[in-house]
Amino acid sequence: MADKTYDLVLIGSGPGGYVAAIRASQLGLRTAIVERDDLGGICLNWGCIPTKALLRSAEIYETLHRLDEFGLKAEKVEFDIEAVVARSRKVAAQLSNGVKFLMKKNKIDVIQGTGRLAGAGRVSVESKDGEKSELTTKNIILATGARARTIPGLEPDGERIWTYREAMAPKTIPKSLIVVGSGAIGIEFASFYRAFGAEVTVIEMLDRILPVEDEEISKEAARAFKKRGIRLLTGASVEKVEKNKSGVIATVKAGSKIETIEAEIVISAVGIVGNVENLGLEEAGIKVEKTHVVVNEWLETGVKGVYAIGDLVGPPWLAHKASHEGVLAAERLAGLKGLHPIDTTKIPGCTYSTPQIASVGLTEAKAKEQGHDVKVGRFPFRANGKAIALGEIEGFVKTVFDIKTGELLGAHMIGAEVTELIQGFGIARTLEATEADLIHAVFPHPTLSEMMGEAVLDAEGRVLHT
């Protein structure tokens, strides 16, 4: 490939990188993306999208075992895990091809290879066959993402100890498995494998599962998962994992108690680390802390013309956060005025387990820690007509308001389709809506969204249907 000059070169084509490239192209900047694997990054190819395809299959399979509740019958309901995985991979491939189309449409050069900073305004690229080239550019955005974190004694081997990657393409469903870590990734895999009959144990070091969620949500989630037959061990750590022909034996310590748990597979879901290696960061003078690139509120690294976005720069580890950071960085380097830094408390987080979990803003505990006097509203699924008609009566919606200002500080949900509902409160947070604003909003009937309005009314002592 001949050396070329650009206004912007991005290293990494995940949901942050490719979106930033599109926005930059829209702003008239000559743009290129350097990608060593498939377009779309981990999220599209091995994360967000294909996992949702897997979970959709699991959801349908579980519903087929509840047909009598809906007056329906079916015999010999079975699953084909190879077909389930194949569908997931097909979905990922379709969307990766979609990103290719978007790159062509927006006249963005896609350069296959490994990118590295090579000095001021320069990016070196090495292709898989060893061919080297250099790009000259006014600006660079680092969007290399992150990978699964490993801990001593729990190093993935692809056979008995899996990361998300192996867990997404199983050849068979293991009879038993241990999931280490109860964040969104761990809980989603626990939910998926339990749906297809695996005996699942979740081990969490902290005192409750889904520790970033509101405490009431964590408690309700634990109740729901236990009801599905998932064993939860909190305040526990894996001391040792021994592998044998049939699986693993994990030594687990919980307080003063030590027990051994046998399983076919262990899934390690203990967080992520940024892909900061071999990027030339140290030579460029770019600061890295705890495997993540340090940036300011505008995603600037401190080195002129070099930005970093997405999982590479820190939490929350969310694709939609990366996309918005990509847009902000592109607009910033293009010189647009009137921009605003991203407020992470206005970014919704979602867990696509059964039941689903979603939240935005501060938990009740965090709001109190920050000095807010709060009032809280709640509304249960079992009191909502649409939820009853759907046969999905487990869960609730919780709202947290500031007593003095009426500001919506946070919203937290657990139950069917709450990952779709949460954006309503996300918009409310972005628009700085107050309790009074939300009370005057009209929610359509019959919908699950009515619970959002009722949870707001409940905070004011005006709830109508409980």
Known catalytic residues are: 445
Calculate the alpha carbon distances from 300 to 31, 288, 337 in Å: 18, 13, 16
| Rounded Cα gap, residues 186 and 270, in angstroms | 8
In what helix (H) or strand (E) does residue 92 lie, and over which residues does it extend? helix 81-105
Q: Give the β-pairing of 231-234 and 236-243.
A: unpaired
Of the chain, the end-to-end C-alpha distance in Å amounts to 67
Q: 392: closest CA among 383, 400, 381, 403?
A: 381
Residue 403: CB atoms within 10 A of its CB come to 12
Cα 252–Cα 255–Cα 259 angle in degrees, nearest 5: 30
For residue 355, whether the previous peptide bond is cis, meaning omega lies within 30 degrees of 0, is yes
Residue 164 CA to residue 151 CA, distance in Å, equals: 15
- Residues in CB range of 447: below 8 A, 6 or more apart: 386
In the structure encoding, which two tokens stand for residue 109, read together? 């050069």
Distance CA 38, CA 50 (A): 14
Per DSSP, the three-state class of 273 is strand
Report the C-alpha gap between 59 and 353 in whole angstroms: 9
76-106: burial string, b at 16+ Cβ within 10 Å, e else: eeebeeeebbebbeebbeebbeebbebbeee
